[in-house]
Amino acid sequence: MNNRIYFDNAATTYMDPKVLEAMMPYLTERFGNPSSIYSYGRETRLAVENARKTVAKLLNAHPAEIFFTSGGTESDNTAIAAAVRDLGCKRIISSAIEHHAVEHTIDFFKCSNDVEVDYVEVLPDGHIDMQHLEKLLQDAKEKTLVSLMHANNEIGNLLDIDAVGNLCKKYNAYFHADTVQTVGHYPLNLRATPVHFITGAAHKFHGPKGVGILYINENVKINPLIKGGSQERNMRAGTENIYGIVGFAKALEIAMADYETDSKKILGIKNYMAAQLKQHIPEITFNGDTFGNSLYTVLNVSFPKTERSEMILFNLDINNICVSGGSACTSGANQGSHVIRVINKNPNQIPIRFSFSKYNTHEEVDIVVQKLKELL
C-alpha cells in the first residue's frame, strides 16, 4: 500500500484489487438505474440480484432473506427498530460492551418508547455470563429482543451465537446478532443458526465502504426503516448502491474461498505479536479472552500508564504506524473505550487495539514492537 504500517483492520480494511476490478464496470459504462425497464436498468438489476444470490449462498441463507444497506449501523438500527415497532418487543436484553450502533439505538428506544432494558453481566474475561442471560430470559414477562454481538470489535471475544439463539428459542425471544466483525471472517450457516437478524459491512473484509447487509429470517415480517420507493423488495427505499453491492458480494466470495489460508496466517501474526510484546515489554497485559474464544484478527493490549504511554497513539501515528485506542467510532472523541472500562477497571493502564489482515507481515510486527520499545 505505502510505507505506513496499518494495524487497525477492525476499523476498516484495504480494498482487495480484485474487488475494485469487479466494481469498475458499474462505476463507468454500466451506470443504469436498476428500477429502469430498459437495458441499462436491466443489466444493473441483474447485477444486484446475482450479488444477492452469491451472498445468500455463502451464508447459507435464502436470497429473499438478504437486504443490502449502507452498512452495519443502518442494519443494526433497522433490526432493533423493527423489533420494537413491528414485532412488539417491550423488553431488550443487551450488554454494556456492544458497539455504539447497537448501544445508542437501544438507549433511544429506552428513552422514547417505554422499552425496558436489561444488561446481561459481563465476566472478567469479557465474555457474556450465559447463566445470567438465561435468568433474564426466564424473568421476562414481555416480548423480548436479545441483541448481542457475535464478536467484540475492541477485545475480539466471540459469542456462542448458537447457544444464545437456542436460549432465545427456548424462551420465545427474538435474537439480533451484530456480526459485522465476523461476516467475511468466519463461515456462517444461517440455515442452522437460530437467529432472526444479523448484520455485515463490506469494508471489514476488504470490500468497499458504504455497503452492508441485513439478514432477516424468512419467518420474520417487518416494515422498512427507510421509506420511499420499492427498492429491496419494499424493505429499503433509495436507489441501490450498485457498485457497492457488487463489491460486497465479490469481497465475501474471496474471503470465504481464502478463509482457511488467510485465517491461519492472520492468527499466526496475532500470536507472534503477542509473544514479542510479552518478551520485550513484560509489563503489558491482554484484554479479553486473547488466546481462547477470540477473533483471530484482534489483539487488545494494556500498557502501564506513564507520561510516555499516554502519548503512544500520537507518537505511533507520527512514525507511520496506524493503531487504535478502541472503536474507530469513538477514537476521535477522547472518551476512551467503554468496553475496556467494563472489563478492566485499572485506571493506570493505556489500552491499544492492534488488528490484522492478510496484507500484514511478521516483519511489520518486528518494526512496531521495536518502535514501541523506543517510545516507552
Q: Cβ neighbours of residue 134 under 8 Å, at least 6 residues apart?
A: 167, 171
Output phi, psi for 161, to 5 deg. -70, -25
Q: State residue 183's pLDDT score.
A: 98
Output phi, psi for 196, to 5 deg. -95, -35
Q: What's the start-to-end Cα distance of the chain, in Å?
A: 27
Whether residues 194 and 334 fall in one domain: no
pLDDT in tens, 271-329: 999 999 999 999 999 999 999 999 999 999 999 998 888 899 999 999 999 999 865 55
Whether residues 148 and 200 fall in one domain: yes
| Low-confidence winner among 29-43, 61-75, 157-171, 193-207 (lowest mean pLDDT) | 29-43
Distances (CA, A) of 248 to 149, 194, 278: 21, 24, 37
Q: How many CB atoms lie within 10 A of CB 236?
A: 23
- Residue in 315, 318, 314, 306 with CA at minimum distance from that of residue 281: 306
Whether residues 248 and 369 fall in one domain: no
| Boundary residue ending a domain (236, 257, 278) | 257
Q: Residue 332 pLDDT > 50, yes or no?
A: no
Whether residues 60 and 140 fall in one domain: yes
- What angle do the packed helices 17-27 and 242-257 form, to 10 degrees? 160
Q: State residue 2's pLDDT score.
A: 64
Q: Residue 1 pLDDT > 70, yes or no?
A: no
Q: Residue 342 pLDDT > 90, yes or no?
A: no
pLDDT in tens, 41-56: 999 999 999 999 999 9
Give the pLDDT mean for 172-193: 98
Candidates 89, 168, 322, 329; catalytic one: 329
Whether residues 128 and 175 fall in one domain: yes
Per the model's pLDDT, the better-predicted residue between 335 and 47 turns out to be 47
Q: State residue 337's pLDDT score.
A: 85
CATH number where 285 lies: 3.90.1150.10
Give the pLDDT mean for 189-217: 98
Helices in the chain by DSSP H: which ranges? 17-27, 39-59, 72-85, 100-112, 130-139, 161-170, 231-234, 242-257, 259-280, 312-318, 338-343, 362-375
| Boundary residue ending a domain (204, 230, 257) | 257
* Cell representation of residue 331: 477514537
CA dihedral sign, ordered 54, 56, 62, 63: negative
Q: State residue 326's pLDDT score.
A: 61
Whether residues 233 and 305 fall in one domain: no
Percent of all residues in the chain with a pLDDT value above 90, rounded to a whole number: 88
- Residue in 178, 168, 243 with CA at minimum distance from that of residue 213: 178
Whether residues 236 and 277 fall in one domain: no
CATH number where 32 lies: 3.40.640.10
* Local confidence band at 331 (pLDDT 50, 70, 90 cut-offs): very low
pLDDT in tens, 116-161: 999 999 999 999 999 999 999 999 899 999 999 999 999 999 999 9
- Residue in 372, 175, 145 with CA at minimum distance from that of residue 273: 372
Give the pLDDT mean for 94-106: 96
Whether residues 135 and 270 fall in one domain: no
**111 a catalytic residue:** no
Whether residues 224 and 239 fall in one domain: yes
Residue 203: which domain range? 17-257
Whether residues 168 and 270 fall in one domain: no
Please tell me the total count of domains within the chain.
2
Q: State residue 346's pLDDT score.
A: 80
Whether residues 158 and 281 fall in one domain: no
Q: State residue 325's pLDDT score.
A: 86
Judge whether 251 and 16 are in contact, CB under 8 Å.
yes
Whether residues 186 and 69 fall in one domain: yes
Taking the C-alpha atoms of residue 359 and residue 19, their distance in angstroms, rounded to an integer, is 15
Judge whether 349 and 337 are in contact, CB under 8 Å.
no
- Residue in 53, 145, 64, 153 with CA at minimum distance from that of residue 105: 145
* Local confidence band at 3 (pLDDT 50, 70, 90 cut-offs): confident
